Structure formats: C-alpha cells, structure tokens
Amino acid sequence: LGVKGAKATEVFVLDQQDNFDDLGEIYGLVFLFKMIGDVSGDVKGLHRDAKYEPIDELPKNVYFANQVVENACATLAVLNIVLNCPQLEIDQELKEFKEFTRELPPAANAWFCNHKSPKFPSNSQFDVQAKALVVEEAVTTKKGRGKKIIEVVGEAYHYIAYVPVDGEAWQLDGLYPHPVSLGKYSNEKKWYEAARGEINARINGFFVEQIEYVLLAITKDELGVHQDRIKDCMYIKSLAENRLDKLSNSWREVDSKDIDLFFTNEDEIRVINRGNYVADFENLTSYHDNIENIKELRTRMVNTIQSLLEEIEIEKKRKEVEKERRTFDYCPFFREFISILQERGDLERLLDAAEDMDERDEYI
C-alpha cells in the first residue's frame, strides 16, 4: 500500500489485564474471521443482533471505505486504518488518493480502491489461484486404480478494522454503511480500551460457535522502531553538542566523529511526545559541566545511529525477499514438478508411501 514502518502482529486475547506495552504504539486492530454464510452482511458473527444506532451524517474526521466487491475486505481494513493515522508515513500516491477521495461517500472510496489504483492488492493476490486449483487424486477401487477430481474452493473470510481518531475509537466494517463509534478514550497509547467490549463480545460468540478468528495489531515494524531510536539519539546528540559549544570552543577539533542526518523541528516534537529519550537526557543532565562525559555520551549516540542505519539496510533487504516470496506464484512450479514425478513413474509410489504413513499415524 505504500506504507513504511508498520507491520501486523497477531494478538491472542484482549483481556482487561493486557496492556500490550511490549507492542509499542498500536495504529489499529484488524479482526479477521471465517465467514459462515455469504458475503451479504447477514451472516453469523457479522451484524446479527447488531444494535448500532443509525447516523444522519458521516463523521468528517474519519476516513471510511465500504466494500463493493469480493476479495477486498483485507485491503480495505488496512487502508481504513492507514488513512486514519497521520503519524504513519505513506507514499505520494496514497497521499493523493486520500486527498482525492476525502469528500466522496464510502462506496465511492472503495470503488476507487478497487478500480483506480494498481498498487492496492486484493486478497486474491496473496492467495494465488486458490479458487482455480483442481487436484487429481489417485484412488483405489475394486476395479483397480483410478482418479478422482477434487476442486479446491477458497474459503470466505472477513476483516473489520478498529482505529483511534481524535480521542474516539471507531469500528470500520466495509460491509456496514457507516463507521461505528465505540466510545471515547483518554489515554492515547491505550485507545483500545474503548474497543475491548465490542471485540471481546465477538471473540466470546465465535468461541461458542467454533468460528475461526484472528486478531491483529497494526504496529511499528523493526524499521519504524529503529528509525524512532535514531531520532531519539539525534535529539540527545544535538543537546549534547549545544552544551559542549557553551563549555568549549575547541571540542569539535578533538572529537570530529559525526553523522550527517536531517533532524527537523517536527522530528524534535515527535521525540518529546514519545518520551523515550528521558533516560539519556537524565544522563546528560547529571554530567553538568563535565566535558569528557558529555563528549562520551555524544559519541555513544553517533555509534548507535550508525549501527541502527546498518541494521535498517539489512532489514530492508530481508523485507524485499519476504515480499517476493509472499507474492510469487509457485503454482506453475508445483504443477510441473508433479508432472515430472508422474512421467518418471515416481508419483504413484510416493502417494502409496504417504497413505501407508497416514495409516500408521492413525493406528498410533
């Protein structure tokens, strides 16, 4: 989607004692479940028994897109979170898309998502040819060995987004006509407290009816965490340098090790708001007029920044490989591989061996 510094992390429960501090900042939650019924909105676990109050006017501060085609709810759920989080870094194309669709109704937003932007992936792109697979299974009958044709049909899943906007938690369900307010919150980092009741009600209902579900948290990825730490170090480095400039006119001649990165006023505000710099700041304060200690702290910040930049480059390469593996279509390879096994006469032997193994496992 053109978003940098974010990832999806699975969380298993949303009990009262869980505060998810170890996840860091949570941009939004995605509730994914296996649908029982058709994708019409009138299915188990979706809007049955829903008592949401209709609204006369859509909230101006909440971006929301309906689902107008199948195989789009995953993309829409993430998009509905991303475009409601100004602190996330998005590329120019997504910025222009948000600006262009800001005043459009939810259904039009979804239409543009699915038809106008080639960068928006649908669920089917990550479930390559799942609905088109046909399997020939070798079976043994009284008349000998034959073949049975099995068509593998993709299962239907639905994704619902939960996101904080201006002190209020919202449920953004592409199959519902409008955003649903779940209540206000006072703690920005624990906004999900306002959504606990709704999410837990779904979980409890799914547990009773044995419906499969997953709860995902959209959080900062390793790149985002590293980049935040770099900004923290840049802030402490600048404070240390300002202090050294007042204490000595020649310290730069002796300590020339430096790193050239942009650090803006906006960066400084974000660092202060996050508050992760406090420990280093307390160390700097405790050094008073000790030039050597302040220089040592500054050097430590420079070394940390350089190390993090190297880790970021490694992580970027790893993510590119991961993306290629996740989106690559391996089906032609497997078809060709199985065809070769069949031509060599090895496939039937392997199937028999697998059946024997299954029988032994069942017996055990």
73 as an active site residue: the answer is yes
Question: What pLDDT is stored for residue 50 in this prediction?
Answer: 55
Question: What pLDDT is stored for residue 240 in this prediction?
Answer: 93
Taking a C-beta distance cutoff of 8 angstroms, is the pair 153, 131 a contact? yes
Q: Measure CA of the first residue to CA of the last residue in the chain; give whole Å.
A: 48
Q: What's the token pair of residue 262? A: 């942009």
Phi, psi (deg, nearest 5) at residue 245: -60, -35
Question: What pLDDT is stored for residue 176 in this prediction?
Answer: 82
Q: What's the token pair of residue 127? A: 């479930």
The DSSP element (H or E) to which 145 belongs, if any, is: strand 144-151
Question: What pLDDT is stored for residue 310 in this prediction?
Answer: 94
Q: Is 111 helix (H, G, I), strand (E, B) or coil?
A: helix
**Has residue 111 got a pLDDT over 80?**
no
What 3 state SS string does 11-47 have? ECCCCCCCCCHHHCCEEEEEEEEECCCCCCCCCCCCC
With bands split at pLDDT 50, 70 and 90, how would you rate the model's confidence at 39?
very low
Please tell me which residue in 47, 113, 115, 158 is annotated as part of the active site. 158
Which tens digit of pLDDT belongs to each residue from 216-275? 899 888 888 898 899 999 999 999 999 999 998 888 877 677 888 888 888 898 899 888
C-alpha 282/C-alpha 279 separation (Å) is: 5
Taking a C-beta distance cutoff of 8 angstroms, is the pair 277, 269 a contact? no
Question: What pLDDT is stored for residue 234 in this prediction?
Answer: 95
C-alpha 301/C-alpha 306 separation (Å) is: 9
Taking a C-beta distance cutoff of 8 angstroms, is the pair 110, 68 a contact? yes
What pTM was computed for the model? 0.65
Question: What pLDDT is stored for residue 70 in this prediction?
Answer: 63
Question: What pLDDT is stored for residue 313 in this prediction?
Answer: 92
Percent of the chain with pLDDT over 70: 73
C-alpha 267/C-alpha 235 separation (Å) is: 9
Who has greater pLDDT, 56 or 138? 56
For the chain, what is the mean pLDDT? 77
C-alpha 195/C-alpha 21 separation (Å) is: 17
Question: What pLDDT is stored for residue 338 in this prediction?
Answer: 92
Which residues make beta-bridge pairs with 150? 135
C-alpha 94/C-alpha 88 separation (Å) is: 12
Which tens digit of pLDDT belongs to each residue from 296-350? 999 999 999 999 999 999 988 988 898 888 888 889 999 999 999 999 999 988 9
With tokens 């974010």, the residue in question is 6
**Has residue 35 got a pLDDT over 90?**
no
**Has residue 113 got a pLDDT over 60?**
no
Rounded to an integer, the average pLDDT of 81-105 is 82
**Has residue 351 got a pLDDT over 80?**
yes
Question: What pLDDT is stored for residue 304 in this prediction?
Answer: 95
158 as an active site residue: the answer is yes
Q: Is 181 helix (H, G, I), strand (E, B) or coil?
A: strand
Who has greater pLDDT, 118 or 343? 343
Taking a C-beta distance cutoff of 8 angstroms, is the pair 172, 28 a contact? no
Who has greater pLDDT, 156 or 287? 287
Taking a C-beta distance cutoff of 8 angstroms, is the pair 93, 4 a contact? no
Question: What pLDDT is stored for residue 301 in this prediction?
Answer: 95
Segment of 32-36, 112-116, 128-132, 250-254 carrying the highest mean pLDDT: 250-254
Rounded to an integer, the average pLDDT of 20-37 is 79
**Has residue 209 got a pLDDT over 80?**
no
Taking a C-beta distance cutoff of 8 angstroms, is the pair 113, 100 a contact? no
Q: What's the token pair of residue 346? A: 């090895």
Question: What pLDDT is stored for residue 170 in this prediction?
Answer: 92
In the chain, the largest separation of any two C-alpha atoms, in whole Å, equals: 97
The DSSP element (H or E) to which 226 belongs, if any, is: helix 222-247
With bands split at pLDDT 50, 70 and 90, how would you rate the model's confidence at 99?
confident
Residue type, 301: M
